[in-house]
Amino acid sequence: MKKTIFTGAGVAIVTPFSKDGSINYEMLGRLLDMQIEGGTDAIISCGTTGESATMSHQEHVDVLKFTIDYVAGRVPVIAGTGSNETAVAAELSTEAEKLGADGLLIVTPYYNKTSQPGLVAHYNYIADRVNLPIILYNVPSRTGCNIKPETYLELSKHPNIVATKEANGDIAAAAKTKALCGDALELYSGNDDQIVPLMSLGGKGVISVLSNVAPRVAHDIVQLYLDGKTKESCALQLEYLDLINALFMDVNPIPVKEALNLMGLDVGECRLPLIRMQDKQVETLQNILKKYELIK
């Protein structure tokens, strides 16, 4: 059996920006402490929610270094190092390994996409160049590229490819993937509204947007399930469904950054081309946050 990087709820953490658009490291430190104190089981840095697509290479490396150094082993830090250019993803991955990351999250190639054999070649190329465990990231709604169960089976043969963050919304495909791969490939839900369904298929947890604003809730949904309290886990997931949905009322991470700002955590706005939500959406989000007592 391969080594599991973490079990539980990992946060796909936002990257806070100052008013001038630079990275706000002081706030990033506050967010990291909040997550760890709130029970988060892993930090996923420079993923989609962290706006890695609008970071320069140096910013990407600097944020990873700060996060790894600041967390200082309290929980695992998983570095987002994906790219649509295989060589760039490999370079970022080797840099993250040198910085001390505990694992890598690598999204499928986007825009240029690739075939299923191309996905195997892409990921194996990267995995051959690092000694870290790799979580694949399948989010076709953003990349236009979907990993099929049979492709997961082929990828799971590489010793460094240990898991996938599955965010294609296809529970039947996830079931087939688990049936084909067994313990050779662990599953993490990439959708906060599907934590319990993925756990029922043997999933190890979630890589979560919800955790940014409610780390204890995301953690508890997973932990209750792991403790055999499946009804309670499901009930908690359903209880927070309105908040989960609100965090995706616009393109991620626009709503979750707005939520954090409303909660008094000044994470700034997203970088262009993402813009602030319309006032009516902000009002809806405020009401949802009040419902869950995250703001007054």
State yes or no: is 165 an active-site residue: yes
Catalytic residue among 137, 188, 225, 240: 137
Q: What residue type is 184 in one-letter code?
A: A
- Residue 51: HSE in the Cβ half-sphere, 13 Å Cα cutoff: 26
Residues 6+ apart with CB under 8 A from 94: 129, 130
Tell me whether residue 137 is one of the annotated catalytic residues: yes
- Nearest C-alpha neighbor of 61 from the set 76, 45, 42, 43: 45
Kindly report the number of other CB atoms within 10 A of residue 9's CB atom: 31
3-state secondary structure of 52: helix
Helices (H), the chain: 25-37, 57-71, 86-99, 116-127, 140-143, 149-155, 171-181, 195-200, 215-226, 230-239, 241-246, 254-262, 279-291
SS3 state at 165: strand
* C-alpha torsion 71→98→127→110, nearest 10: 70
| Active-site residue (options: 123, 152, 165, 188) | 165
How far is residue 48's CA from residue 45's CA, in Å, rounded to a whole number? 9
* CB-count burial class (<10 Å; 0-12, 13-18, 19+) for 2: middle
Positions marked catalytic: 137, 165
